[in-house]
Amino acid sequence: MKIFIETLGCPKNFNDSEMAAGILEHAGHTMVPSPQEADLIMVNTCGFINDAKTESIERIFDMAQYKGEDKILAVTGCLSQRYENELFEEMPEVDLFLGVNDYQRLPQILEKFQKGKREKHLSDYNKIFMETPFRKLGENPYTATLKIAEGCNNVCAYCVIPSIRGKYRSRKQEDIVAEARMLAEKGCRELILIAQDVTAYGMDLYDGFVLPQLLRKLCRIEGLHWIRLMYCYEDRISDELIQVMAEEEKICKYIDIPLQHISDRVLKGMNRRSTAAGIRGTIERLRRAMPDIHIRTTLITGFPGETEEDFEELLDFVETTRLQRLGVFTYSQEEGTPAAEMEDQVDEEVKALRQDAIMRRQLDISLAANQEKIGKALEVLVEAEEGDGSYLGRTAYDAPEIDNSVIFTAKRQLVPGDLVQVEITDAFDYDLAGKEV
């Protein structure tokens, strides 16, 4: 069977799609690059917030246009796991619904599936991390995600992920290291560690948080050049983790810490463990150990009960802390979460105005941070050729598809995955320009 997979959402979803493709290919199926060529179109959805749900639903209907009489349309991922019954009733165009725990069963499900019928296969999560020995990578996997855990034990009041992905399950260190070695052998230069909470790694398997020890092992793998940390909870960023980050050259001086807010009152309502003092202290510890570190965060405006004073405190934090990488979401009222039932829901227009105010302030902060790089030579990972001797790349301070890019010229032929030194000659709000040196 020829199969096309359309993926939406976060890097964890894209990792799932690569695993699903590997499982299907091992079973004898063929992956194709377009829905027109496929016998089976699979949409891997996101169901985290309203905007993501809307995008997923629209994409499902887009893919349904290619269906015809001979094609099978399947929906998997978080949206399917969360709304299995509603989607089955409201989307007769879809033949097959699967959840986030059913990728390993795909070959058996497809073997028994009969065209003309509709089915749903949604399993509960496994109690341990389930290894998948197959993963389909692109032709030049110079950057790759590495999932170190699944699920989440944090019970943030606004979040549906634990109900979709289940409880936290760490992956065995030896399995993580084995996959990292495989990726390095295939040409991976940048390894991006992902989980719902990377800093919680090991809590269920090793009776403690052992991310620092895992990082030491990954840094010994030949061929890997950058190791990047995503989705780190502030209260679990220990002195030991900071020391490892500072000492190991392969670990990018970059960390993603979704802070969500700075007001102690709002953080308590969100059921976050962090406090304003703790957040400021962690940022200070990171910057003291690594003066050049770039910290990425995400914030939420309009959480229920957020007052003008709470928002002003958040805005002041953005201005004074000057984090180089920052994004803002408006609070999404998700059914089934404690926050959805809270009083003092904030008006949608107020949420949007607060989001816009923060992003306008961040624009100046980002530009100033970029201007400080003018005249410096930075290592850049090549991602694409733009033509006429121009290339697009990223520094170690930037995660793919999320952060800044570097547009630069070179007098020699480069290919994606090359690492080059680039002198920065100009800076913009969210990008840099330069030339290879």
Q: How far apart are the first and last CA of the chain?
A: 49
Q: Is the separation of the CB atoms in 434 and 424 below 8 Å?
A: yes
Distance between alpha carbon 10 and the CA centroid of its chain, in Å?
Answer: 4
Hey, what are 26's tokens?
A: 């091992």
Per this entry, what is the length of the chain?
437
Q: What pTM did the predictor assign?
A: 0.94
Label residues 38-63 b or e (16+ Cβ within 10 Å = b): bbbbbbbbbbbbeebbeebbebbeeb
Q: Where in the chain is the domain with CATH 2.40.50.140?
A: 377-436
Exposed / middle / buried, residue 315 (Cβ in 10 Å: 0-12, 13-18, 19+): middle
Per-residue confidence in pLDDT tens, the chain, 437 aa? 999 999 998 999 999 999 999 999 999 999 999 999 999 999 999 988 888 889 999 999 999 999 877 899 999 999 999 998 899 999 999 999 998 988 999 999 999 998 888 999 988 888 888 888 889 998 899 999 999 999 999 999 999 999 899 999 999 999 999 999 999 999 999 999 999 999 999 999 998 999 999 999 999 999 999 999 999 999 999 999 999 999 999 999 999 999 999 999 999 999 999 999 999 999 999 999 999 999 999 999 999 999 999 999 999 999 999 999 999 999 999 999 999 999 999 999 999 999 999 999 999 999 999 999 999 999 999 999 998 999 999 999 999 999 999 999 999 999 999 999 999 999 999 999 999 99
| CATH class given for the domain over 2-121 | alpha beta
CATH 3.40.50.12160 domain residues, the chain: 2-121
Q: How far apart are CA 66 and CA 41, in angstroms?
A: 9
List every span in the chain annotated with CATH 3.80.30.20.
Answer: 143-371
**Binding-site positions for [4Fe-4S] cluster:** 10, 46, 78, 152, 156, 159
**φ, ψ of residue 255 in degrees (nearest 5):** -150, 140
Are 98 and 65 a contacting pair, CB within 8 Å? Answer: no
Distance CA 372, CA 368 (A): 6
Q: Residue 108: enclosing H or E segment and its boundaries?
A: helix 106-112
CATH number of 377-436: 2.40.50.140
In CATH, what class is 143-371? Answer: alpha beta
Binding-site members are 10, 46, 78, 152, 156, 159
